[in-house]
């Protein structure tokens, strides 16, 4: 094959490659209903349960709890805000589907806290990346894990439980 023929063959191959890529990109969005069903099959339900536990470590009955169930898509974050008298807590969860079928949970916690006595403001921001299975529980302690000293001071503990399951259409 002469150099001239090779020179002419390269652009033809390039054109075929471009056409093939374009055809692949177009193949899956011909039917919006099919695309929507595909999207629904990937939807996720994220449940965030907040609990305030009494100082007594043996006591497991929460003195306050609340739950929020959010529907989302992989890569789309949900946000939960907890407002207290001197504390505001943000939990931002972004689930990603992994190739093995599990979920990679990216979570960001933000805590704004005002000291009761000196009114000093404190801010914590943390970021987590946790691979989980569907239904597996993840716990978030925005104010830390209570220790024995805190329990003696009768301070409450707050924890948030995160659970991600596939979306199931309600019948």
Interaction between residue 36 and other proteins (CB under 8 A): yes
Residue 35: phi and psi, rounded to 5, are: -65, -40
Interaction between residue 107 and other proteins (CB under 8 A): yes
Tell me whether residue 47 is exposed, middle or buried, using C-beta atoms within 10 angstroms of its C-beta: 0 to 12, 13 to 18, 19 or more: middle
Residues in the chain: 171
Considering only residues 56, 121, 134, 137, which one is a binding residue for other proteins as defined by CB under 8 A? 137
Closest CA to 132 of 91, 162, 167: 162
Interaction between residue 145 and other proteins (CB under 8 A): yes
Interaction between residue 32 and other proteins (CB under 8 A): yes
List, in sequence order, every residue forming a beta bridge with 88; answer none if it has no partner.
83, 112
Interaction between residue 1 and other proteins (CB under 8 A): no
Q: How far is the CB of 29 from other proteins (least distance, A)?
A: 4
Q: How far is the CB of 134 from other proteins (least distance, A)?
A: 13
Considering only residues 39, 56, 121, 134, which one is a binding residue for other proteins as defined by CB under 8 A? 39
Interaction between residue 135 and other proteins (CB under 8 A): no
List, in sequence order, every residue forming a beta bridge with 38; answer none if it has no partner.
none
Contacts of 155 (CB under 8 A, 6+ apart): 55, 146
Angstrom CA distances, 37 to 32, 57, 74, 145, stand at: 9, 46, 15, 42
Q: Which two tokens stand for residue 154?
A: 């009768």
In the region spanning residues 63 to 82, those forming contacts with other proteins, defined by CB under 8 A, are 63-64, 66, 68-75, 78-82
Considering only residues 56, 134, 135, 147, which one is a binding residue for other proteins as defined by CB under 8 A? 147
Angstrom CA distances, 78 to 30, 93, 131, stand at: 30, 5, 17
Interaction between residue 155 and other proteins (CB under 8 A): yes
Interaction between residue 112 and other proteins (CB under 8 A): no
Interaction between residue 15 and other proteins (CB under 8 A): yes
Q: How far is the CB of 26 from other proteins (least distance, A)?
A: 7
């Amino acid at each position: 094959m002469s150099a001239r023929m090779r020179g002419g063959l390269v652009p033809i191959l390039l054109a075929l490659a471009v056409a093939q890529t374009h055809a692949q990109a177009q193949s899956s969005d011909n039917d919006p209903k099919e695309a929507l069903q595909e999207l629904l099959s990937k939807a996720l339900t994220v449940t965030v349960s907040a609990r305030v536990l009494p100082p007594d470590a043996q006591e497991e009955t929460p003195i306050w709890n609340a739950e929020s169930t959010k529907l989302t898509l992989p890569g789309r974050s949900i946000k939960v805000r907890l407002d207290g008298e001197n504390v505001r807590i943000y939990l931002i969860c972004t689930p990603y589907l992994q190739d093995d079928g599990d979920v990679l949970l990216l979570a960001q916690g933000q805590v704004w806290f005002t000291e009761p006595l000196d009114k000093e403001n404190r801010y914590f921001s943390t970021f987590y990346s946790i691979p989980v299975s569907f239904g597996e529980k993840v716990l978030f302690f925005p104010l830390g894990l209570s220790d024995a000293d805190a329990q003696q001071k009768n301070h409450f503990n707050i924890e948030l439980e995160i659970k991600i399951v596939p979306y199931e259409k309600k019948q």
